[in-house]
Structure 1
Amino acid sequence: MKATNVESLFGLMDEAITLLQTEVELTYIEALSETLENLSFEAKAQQVEGLPSIEAVERLNSLYKKMNLDALDKEIIRKSIQLTFIKATKEDKLQMNHQMTPDTIAYLIAYFIGEIKKDKTEKLHVSDLAAGTGNLLNIVVAHLTSRGNEVTAEAVDNDDLLISVAANSGALLGFSEKIHYTHSDSLQELLIAPSDIVVSDFPIGYYPVNERAKNYQTAFPEGNSFAHFLMFEQNVNYLKESGWGIFIVPSDIFETDKSSVLMGWLKENVHIQAFLSLPADLFHKNGMKKSIIIVQKIGEKSLQAEQVLLGEIPDLKNAQKMQSFLDIFHNWSAKMI
C-alpha cells in the first residue's frame, strides 16, 4: 500500500532505513543519510561491492516506490523525515548539539521574520551557519516562499552526515535550487554571500581550535573559547548591513563570568532588539534552558528599538496565551521596527 500520510510514510522510511542498517552494518543516522540520498536520486538503492544484497536492493526499491513521494504534500515528507531523525537521535544517542531544532521553535522564528520583513515581494537571502539537518532553515524558507517572497539560502554545517541529511531532505522538499549546502567548519572563512537574514540554533560548548578562534574578537585571551560566542560573531560577519539575526542561545548567555567579552562586541556591531525566554518545559534540564535573541547589524538603515522586547514566551500549547504573545510581538514590531 502506498504512503498517504505521515504515519504511513514514516513506517516505510523506517523499514527501509532499518533494512539498510542491518545489511550494510550502519548506524541508524548513516542509514537514514543513505536512504535520503537514494530517494533524491531516482529513488533507487545503490549497491557498492555487493552490498546491500540483490534481494535487499529489490526490497528497498519496492519500499521507495510505495513511498509515493511525488504525490505527497511536502509537509508530510518533511515531518516524516523529522520522525526518522528523532529515532536516530535516540537510537544512536546523538550529542545535544546534533539534535534537531523543534518545529514549534522553528515556526515561531519564521513568524518573527515575517513580522520584521513585512514586504512580501522583497527578494531575501537567508543563511544558517549551524544548519544541522536543515529543519529550521527549511521551515523559514517554506514560510517566506509561501507568502510570496523570492528566497535563496545558504546552509553550512561541519558534520558530514547532518549536512547530507539536510541537502537530500532539501532536494525532496523541492529546495535544491533555493538552498546551497556547504560542508565546512562555519568558523573558517566561508565562500558565501552576505545575507538579509541569518538564523541559527547555536552549538553550545567550547571550540577546540584556538588557532582559528584567535581571529575573533569574542575569543578568550587564554584557553578554549565558547563556540556560541564565536558563532554569534561569525553569523553577524555574514549579515548585510542593517540585516537581521535571530538566534537560539543559552538563556544565561549574558550571565556568565565571560559574558563581558560578548557584550563588548555586541555593543559595537549590533542592536539588540529582543530577548525572549523559551518555555522551560521544552528542555529536559533547567541548565539547558534557551532563549531567542533578535539583533540587527548596525548600518545606515538600522535603528535601535526604543523599547527592547524582553519577556517569556508562554506555553506553546496554550493557544490563548500564545495568541496574546503574538499580538504583543506584532504590535511591538509595527511600532519599533
Structure 2
Amino acid sequence: MEKFEQIFSFINEKAEKYESSGEYTFLEGVLQSLEEILDNQTQWIGHDASKEEIRKAIQIAILKGMRKNSQPNHQMTPDTLGLLVGYFVQQFFAEDIKNRQISLLDVAAGTGNLLFTVMNLLDGKTSATGVEVDELLIRLAADTAELIEQPVLLYHQDALQKLLVDPVDAVVCDLPVGYYPNEETAVEYELCAHEGMSYSHHLLIEQSINHTKEGGYLFFLIPANLFESEQSKDLHKYLKKNAWIQAVIQLPENLFASKAHEKSLLILQKQSTAARAPREVLLAKVPNMSNKEALSLFFEKVQMWKENK
C-alpha cells in the first residue's frame, strides 16, 4: 500500500467513527481527525511522508465527504487542473523563483487544494494567502496547511468585502460561478451589473486584479463560456483597461461531468508601465491527458510562445 493510501485509511477510519456517532457528517469527521493529529491526541503515521502524499490523502478523504453530502459550494479543484495551473505559474515566474519567494493569493480557497497543489509543486518558493467564506472548508484548509507545513495565511470572510491583503505576485483561483447576493458590496465594483444581480465570478476577477502587483499574473479556472454571457461585454471592457490577456487554454472535455461544467484556464497580466502586452495571446487546447505524444506537443507550443512573446 502506498504511503498516501495508508494516511487516507488512517483519516478515513477515524472520520467514519465520528460519522457513526451521529453527531458529525463524514466531512466534519475528517476535520476532527486532522485536529486530533495536530493536537497530538493520536499516533500520526505521516511523519515520513512527503507534503504531496499528505495533501493527496487528505484530499481523497475530503472528496469522499463532499460526495456523501453534496453542497454546491463544496467543490474541489481536481489535481490534474491544479498541476496544470502550477506548471503555468512555474513558466511565468521561472526567473523570479530562482532568486526569491513569490506571493500567491486565492480568493476562493475552499479546502486549499488548488493553492496547496501549486505550493507543493514550487516547494519553498512561495508564500500564500487564502480567503474562504465557508467555515468548515477553511478549517480543513488550515489543518492541511499545518500538516504539509506550507506558509499560508487564511482569512475566513467573504472575499468581496474589504481584504486586508498586500498586493501579490500571482493569483490562482478556481472561480466559483454564480450571482452575488450582496448588492451594497457589489456597487463598489466596476463590474457591478447595470441591472439585476452581479456575477460573483466577475467581481472576484476585479477583486483579484485589485490585489495583484503591477505586472503580476493571474491564473483563473473559468467557465468555458465566460466571454459569452450577457454581462461579458462589461468584462471585456474592464479587462482591456486593466489587464493583458496572456493565454486562454481550453481544458479536455473528459475532465468534466458535462458540457455545462467545462472550464478553461485564463491567464492575465495586470497592466504595468514596466511591461508590455504579449505579441499574441496563447490560444491552445490541452489534449486528453492520457495522450502523452499530444501532451508533449502542447507543452512545446507553450515553450515556443513563451520564447516569442
Separation (CA, whole Å) in 1 of partners of 2:132 and 2:2? 32
Alignment partner of 2:123 out of 145, 161, 165:
145
- Aligned pairs, number: 307
Give 2:195's aligned residue: 222
Give 1:7's aligned residue: 5
Separation (CA, whole Å) in 2 of partners of 1:304 and 1:34? 48
Alignment partner of 2:180 out of 203, 207, 222:
207
Alignment partner of 2:163 out of 181, 187, 190:
190
Task: Describe the superposition over 1:123-148 as per-residue Cα deviations: whole angstroms up to 9, x where unpaired.
Answer: 311111111111111121122225xx
Instruction: Verify the 8 A CA contact 1:88 1:94 in the aligned structure 2.
Output: no
The alignment partner of 1:215 has SS state of coil
Quote the offset at 1:24 in angstroms.
Answer: 5.5
Instruction: Verify the 8 A CA contact 2:52 2:120 in the aligned structure 1.
Output: no
Separation (CA, whole Å) in 1 of partners of 2:274 and 2:30? 44
Quote the offset at 1:301 in angstroms.
Answer: 2.2
Separation (CA, whole Å) in 2 of partners of 1:26 and 1:144? 35
Quote the offset at 1:107 in angstroms.
Answer: 0.6
Does residue 118 of the first structure (1) align with residue 94 of the second (2)? yes
Separation (CA, whole Å) in 1 of partners of 2:38 and 2:11? 13
1:72 counterpart letter in structure 2? A
Task: Describe the superposition over 1:236-261 as per-residue Cα deviations: whole angstroms up to 9, x where unpaired.
Answer: 11000110000000111111221111
Task: Describe the superposition over 1:19-60 as per-residue Cα deviations: whole angstroms up to 9, x where unpaired.
Answer: 112225111111112221222222x1xxxxxxxxxxxxxxxx
Alignment partner of 1:313 out of 286, 290, 296:
286
Task: Describe the superposition over 1:211-256 as per-residue Cα deviations: whole angstroms up to 9, x where unpaired.
Answer: 1111111110222111110111011110001100000001111112
Instruction: Verify the 8 A CA contact 2:179 2:198 in the aligned structure 1.
Output: yes
1:129 counterpart letter in structure 2? V
Coordinate RMSD, CA, aligned: 1.4
Gapped regions of structure 2 (runs ≥ 5): none
The alignment partner of 1:145 has SS state of coil
* TM-score, normalised by the number of residues in structure 1: 0.88
The alignment partner of 2:226 has SS state of coil
Task: Describe the superposition over 1:184-203 as per-residue Cα deviations: whole angstroms up to 9, x where unpaired.
Answer: 10000111111000010000
Instruction: Verify the 8 A CA contact 1:106 1:139 in the aligned structure 2.
Output: yes
Q: Output aligned runs, 1:68-87, within 5 Å.
A: 68-87=45-64
Separation (CA, whole Å) in 1 of partners of 2:49 and 2:133? 31
The alignment partner of 2:47 has SS state of helix
Give 1:135's aligned residue: 113
The alignment partner of 1:118 has SS state of coil
1:157 counterpart letter in structure 2? E
Separation (CA, whole Å) in 2 of partners of 1:15 and 1:113? 36
Give 1:92's aligned residue: 69
CA 1:145–1:12 in 2, change beyond 3 Å: closer, same or farther?
Answer: closer
The alignment partner of 2:27 has SS state of helix
Separation (CA, whole Å) in 1 of partners of 2:50 and 2:271? 40
Quote the offset at 1:4 in angstroms.
Answer: 5.8
Q: Mark the structure with the bigger radius of gyration.
A: 1
Task: Describe the superposition over 1:142-181 as per-residue Cα deviations: whole angstroms up to 9, x where unpaired.
Answer: 22225xx3x2110111111111111100100011xx1111
Instruction: Verify the 8 A CA contact 1:210 1:223 in the aligned structure 2.
Output: no
